[in-house]
């Protein structure tokens, strides 16, 4: 049996390491699921998601020489898609932004007139200093290059 990218297989967890899990596949082949491909959430300890001897369903995401790269989370994403494809999926603009922090940050308070003035003054001073320094460099260069 020739393994192709996108093939869905069933296997058994053979060995668990800190960076992933090796899966026994049919025909005495072995593939690896990287820790980042185990679940759709952050996985700090792969042993919380998998145990040795566990039967798992995986999808082939790459075949490089003798190495077989597998994924479990991409299979979950494929199975969770609606039957109609992308046309039935909700629009991205309607989805609220995903925030990784536990508590949402409150919107900034509106700025007062004094704060706005201070910001504008700071911006003006920065631009002014930049322009003056470039003018000074130009004029210093010209006076040094003249013969006396």
Kindly report, residue by residue over 102-124, the tens digit of the pLDDT. 566 677 777 788 888 888 898 99
Q: Which residue has the higher pLDDT, 11 or 82?
A: 11
Distance of alpha carbon 40 from alpha carbon 54, whole angstroms: 19
Domain 8-85, CATH number (from 2.40.50.140, 2.60.120.10, 3.40.50.720, 3.60.40.10): 2.40.50.140
User: Is there a contact between 73 and 40 (Cβ–Cβ < 8 Å)?
Assistant: yes
pTM over 0.75: no
Confidence of residue 130 (pLDDT cuts 50, 70, 90): confident
pLDDT at 43: 86
Is the per-residue pLDDT at 58 higher than 60?
yes
Domain coordinates in residue numbering, the chain = 8-85, 111-143
pLDDT at 87: 52
User: Is there a contact between 51 and 14 (Cβ–Cβ < 8 Å)?
Assistant: no
Is the per-residue pLDDT at 95 higher than 70?
no
pLDDT at 84: 52
């Amino acid at each position: 049996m020739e393994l192709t990218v996108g093939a869905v297989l069933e296997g058994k967890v053979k060995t668990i390491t800190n960076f992933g899990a090796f899966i026994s596949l049919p025909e005495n082949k072995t593939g690896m699921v990287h820790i980042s491909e185990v679940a759709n959430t952050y996985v700090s300890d792969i042993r919380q998601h998998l145990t040795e001897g566990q039967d798992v369903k995986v999808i082939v995401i790459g075949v490089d020489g003798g190495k077989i790269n597998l994924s479990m989370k991409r299979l979950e994403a494929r199975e969770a898609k609606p039957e109609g494809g992308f046309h039935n999926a909700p629009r991205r603009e309607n989805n609220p932004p995903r925030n990784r922090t536990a508590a949402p940050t409150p919107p900034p308070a509106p700025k007062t007139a004094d704060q706005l003035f201070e910001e504008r003054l700071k911006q003006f001073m920065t631009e002014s200093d930049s322009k003056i320094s470039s003018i000074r460099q130009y004029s210093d260069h010209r006076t040094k290059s003249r013969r006396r």
